[in-house]
């Protein structure tokens, strides 16, 4: 049985605890490996390695740190196919989708190759009599990232890249459900020239998370996962004096206006709703057509597309959607579908009975479409995180906008329209962090920031973009005056610039 170890001080190790957890192939339900689970001693070893390596790394000039990322990007591109197949085998998403996962993370690694510019401070000459002032951005020390199963390459790269480029050491705690790619990324970073100890990977569940949140030597924590855990991580880390950003769940709405191109809107909903089996925090799970005629048209356009959707294992190049991550996830999704039927939604396409010959024990859920969903139903209120799309009909644009704004989540949203006034009004008024105009999944590129509002995010600074550099650094401001500008005698009043 293949063992997936921790990566501590430049070496893969099964650790001190000698406890392991099965890693499944979601397409077959078979155990394909075991992942080591960290003890408190294993986490301490990772932090000690980081603490020993970080001062020298911080003292390395930013341009030389950036060169490591140029090498890192090249190595990830070199091994793209290997990484994508490995990712697919543990997550279940198609190989092409896995490559997209890696590439969106790679873009952030490319972005932080510009760290020398991003880390520049500010300078004011002659701020007062003989006084100059300047600011510096300095690393926080040791950072940690706690990442989810749904993007085992992208989200770790979003966190570790700016943290390390800014001069920090980093502890990565990835999901134990698909842990191989994060370890492989750490190995590639070492090959790229990153000193050992700067990037460590430890696996485990709540005890490891709590260990990170409580550890005195970890200065900052970034988290992505469900909203209840995001609240917990934010509250605990902040109470322990750490800088923290915690990103939670989502219920992303896409409004379809009467003037929208229905065929394009339907295609957009297919990819945004069923790509990666709906296991994306930016998946569109709620379609909000404006007007009965628009609703009838969008449902009619979606049904044949959904019925023809090719569901299969990642090893089948024709597959458009794979299985969900675990048996428990499958059971939860199917339970919510049952709730939707019980509560009166119209089941327009039923994915409950899906079975794939030769993969009967896999965690497949057929793509499902509900119509006539209301805001009181469980399938609307809960984040399903599966291949289930709900249609909530609205009479007017204002009603559709209010539905989106009243939802407790505020991660992403979109509007499909050919009316510039409607699009501009929507972007200006909606209380959601990321907005798409005729773009169903508006994940910003690496040089802009990613982050939601309301119950989708806790903390003041977002991921990637310039926000990430601010998060992983502290500002130090220096006021300097040389002897020629200093008057004789003590000054007891508050200093001013008079």
Q: Per-residue pLDDT averaged across 111-140, rounded?
A: 94
User: How far apart are the C-alpha atoms of 215 and 388, rounded to whole Å?
Assistant: 39
User: What pLDDT shows up at residue 497?
Assistant: 60
User: How far apart are the C-alpha atoms of 30 and 63, rounded to whole Å?
Assistant: 46
User: What pLDDT shows up at residue 485?
Assistant: 63
Q: Hey, how many other C-beta atoms are within 10 angstroms of the C-beta on 310?
A: 10
**Could you read off the pLDDT of 69-109 as tens digits, one per residue?**
999 999 999 999 999 999 999 999 999 999 999 999 999 99
* Cβ pair 299, 371 in contact under 8 A: yes
Q: Tell whether the torsion through CA atoms of 231, 233, 238 and 243 is positive or negative.
A: negative
Buried b (16+ CB within 10 A) or exposed e, 87-120: bbbbbbbbbebbbbbbbbbbbbbbbbbebeebbe
Q: In sequence order, what are the beta bridge partners of 457?
A: 247
Q: In sequence order, what are the beta bridge partners of 36?
A: 20
* Cβ pair 319, 94 in contact under 8 A: yes
Q: How confident is the model at residue 491 (pLDDT cuts 50, 70, 90)?
A: confident
Structure tokens at 355: 């079975």
Buried b (16+ CB within 10 A) or exposed e, 374-392: eeebebbeebbbbbbbbbb
Q: Per-residue pLDDT averaged across 463-476, rounded?
A: 97
- Which SS3 state, helix, strand or coil, does residue 284 take? strand
CA angle 56, 61, 64 (to 5 degrees): 100
**Could you read off the pLDDT of 146-185 as tens digits, one per residue?**
999 999 999 999 999 999 999 999 999 999 999 999 999 9
Q: How confident is the model at residue 256 (pLDDT cuts 50, 70, 90)?
A: very high
- Cα 372 to chain centroid distance, Å, stands at 31
Q: In sequence order, what are the beta bridge partners of 454?
A: 409
**DSSP string covering 35-73:** EEE--HHHHHHHHHHHHHHHHHHHHS-HHHHHHHHHHHH
**Which residue from 226, 181, 138 is spatially nearest to 23, judged by alpha carbons?**
181
**Which residue from 223, 198, 200 is spatially nearest to 213, judged by alpha carbons?**
223
**Which CATH architecture is the domain 2-248+464-474 placed in?**
3-Layer(aba) Sandwich (3.40)
* Cβ pair 379, 333 in contact under 8 A: no
Q: Tell whether the torsion through CA atoms of 184, 112, 104 and 221 is positive or negative.
A: positive
Domain spans, the chain: 2-248+464-474, 252-437
User: How far apart are the C-alpha atoms of 173 and 221, rounded to whole Å?
Assistant: 11
Catalytic annotation on 281? Answer: yes
Q: Tell whether the model's pLDDT for residue 494 goes beyond 90.
A: no
User: How far apart are the C-alpha atoms of 188 and 357, rounded to whole Å?
Assistant: 38
- Cα 47 to chain centroid distance, Å, stands at 23
User: What pLDDT shows up at residue 146?
Assistant: 98
Please give the share of the chain, as a percent, with pLDDT higher than 70.
Answer: 99
Please report, in angstroms and rounded to a whole number, the separation of the first and last CA atoms in the chain.
74
- Which SS3 state, helix, strand or coil, does residue 231 take? helix
User: How far apart are the C-alpha atoms of 185 and 153, rounded to whole Å?
Assistant: 8
User: What pLDDT shows up at residue 87?
Assistant: 98
**Which residue from 385, 382, 314, 328 is spatially nearest to 91, judged by alpha carbons?**
314
- Within 169-291, where are the H helices? 180-191, 206-214, 227-239, 262-274
Strands (E), 120-259: 123-128, 131-139, 142-146, 169-173, 199-201, 220-224, 243-247, 252-256
* Cβ pair 323, 28 in contact under 8 A: no
Q: Which residue has the tokens 């910003």?
A: 444
User: How far apart are the C-alpha atoms of 106 and 77, rounded to whole Å?
Assistant: 9
User: What pLDDT shows up at residue 279?
Assistant: 98
**Could you read off the pLDDT of 351-381 as tens digits, one per residue?**
999 999 999 999 999 999 999 999 999 999 9
Q: Distance of CA 136 to CAs 169, 219, 472, 492, Å?
A: 19, 18, 13, 28
On average, the pLDDT of the chain sits at 96
Q: In sequence order, what are the beta bridge partners of 7?
A: 12, 201
User: How far apart are the C-alpha atoms of 465 and 444, rounded to whole Å?
Assistant: 9
* Cβ pair 387, 321 in contact under 8 A: yes
Q: What is the DSSP secondary structure assignment for residue 367, as one 8-state letter? A: -
**Active-site residue among 190, 281, 314, 401?**
281
Strands (E), 375-443: 388-391, 409-410, 412-416, 434-437
Please give the share of the chain, as a percent, with pLDDT higher than 90.
Answer: 96
Q: Tell whether the model's pLDDT for residue 27 goes beyond 80.
A: yes
Q: How confident is the model at residue 223 (pLDDT cuts 50, 70, 90)?
A: very high
Is the domain spanning 252-437 CATH 3.40.309.10? The answer is yes
Q: What is the DSSP secondary structure assignment for residue 417, as one 8-state letter? A: -
Q: Which residue has the tokens 């998060």?
A: 471
* Cβ pair 464, 434 in contact under 8 A: no
User: How far apart are the C-alpha atoms of 185 and 158, rounded to whole Å?
Assistant: 12
* Three-class HEC string of 79-96: CHHHHHHHHHHHHCCCHH
Q: Hey, how many other C-beta atoms are within 10 angstroms of the C-beta on 260?
A: 25
Q: How confident is the model at residue 490 (pLDDT cuts 50, 70, 90)?
A: confident
């Amino acid at each position: 049985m293949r063992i997936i170890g921790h990566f501590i001080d430049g070496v893969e190790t099964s650790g001190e605890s000698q406890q392991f957890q099965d890693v499944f192939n979601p397409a077959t339900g078979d155990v394909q490996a075991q992942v080591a689970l960290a003890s408190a001693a294993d986490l301490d070893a990772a932090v000690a390695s980081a603490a020993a390596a970080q001062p020298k790394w911080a003292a390395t000039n930013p341009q030389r740190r950036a060169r490591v990322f140029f090498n890192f990007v090249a190595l990830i591109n070199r091994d793209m196919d290997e990484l994508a197949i490995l990712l697919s085998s543990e997550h279940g998403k198609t190989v092409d989708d896995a490559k997209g996962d890696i590439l969106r993370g790679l873009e952030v690694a490319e972005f932080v190759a510009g760290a020398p510019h991003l880390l520049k401070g500010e300078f004011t000459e002659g701020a007062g009599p003989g006084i100059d002032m300047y600011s510096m951005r300095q690393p926080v020390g040791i950072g940690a990232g706690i990442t989810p199963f749904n993007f085992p390459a992208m989200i770790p790269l979003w966190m570790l890249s700016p943290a390390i480029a800014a001069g920090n050491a980093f502890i990565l705690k990835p999901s134990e459900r698909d842990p191989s790619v994060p370890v492989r990324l750490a190995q590639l970073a070492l090959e790229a020239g990153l000193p050992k100890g700067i990037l460590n990977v430890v696996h485990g569940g709540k005890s490891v998370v709590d260990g990170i949140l409580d550890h005195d030597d970890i200065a900052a924590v970034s988290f992505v996962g469900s909203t209840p855990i995001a609240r917990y991580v934010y509250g605990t880390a902040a109470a322990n004096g750490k800088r923290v950003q915690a990103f939670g769940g989502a219920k992303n709405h896409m409004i379809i206006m009467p003037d929208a191109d229905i065929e394009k809107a339907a295609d957009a909903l297919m990819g945004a709703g069923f790509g990666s089996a709906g296991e994306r925090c930016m998946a569109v799970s709620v379609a909000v057509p404006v007007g009965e005629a628009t609703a009838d048209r969008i449902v009619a356009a979606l049904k044949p597309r959904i019925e023809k959707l090719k569901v299969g294992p990642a090893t089948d190049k024709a597959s458009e959607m794979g299985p969900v991550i675990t048996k428990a996830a499958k059971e939860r999704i199917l339970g919510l579908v049952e709730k939707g039927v019980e509560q009166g939604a119209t089941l327009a396409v039923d994915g409950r009975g899906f079975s794939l010959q030769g993969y009967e024990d896999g965690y497949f859920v057929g793509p499902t479409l509900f119509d006539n969903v209301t805001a009181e139903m469980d399938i609307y209120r809960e984040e399903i995180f599966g291949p289930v799309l709900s249609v909530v009909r609205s009479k007017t644009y204002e009603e559709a906008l209010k539905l989106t704004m009243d939802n407790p989540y505020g991660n992403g949203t979109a509007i499909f329209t050919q009316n510039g006034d409607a699009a501009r009004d929507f972007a200006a008024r909606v209380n959601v962090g990321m907005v798409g105009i005729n773009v169903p999944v508006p994940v910003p590129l690496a040089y802009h920031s990613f982050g939601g509002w309301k119950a989708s995010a806790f903390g003041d600074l977002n991921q990637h973009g310039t926000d990430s550099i601010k998060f992983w650094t502290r500002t130090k401001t220096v006021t300097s005056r040389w002897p020629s500008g200093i008057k004789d005698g003590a000054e007891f009043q508050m200093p001013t610039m008079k």
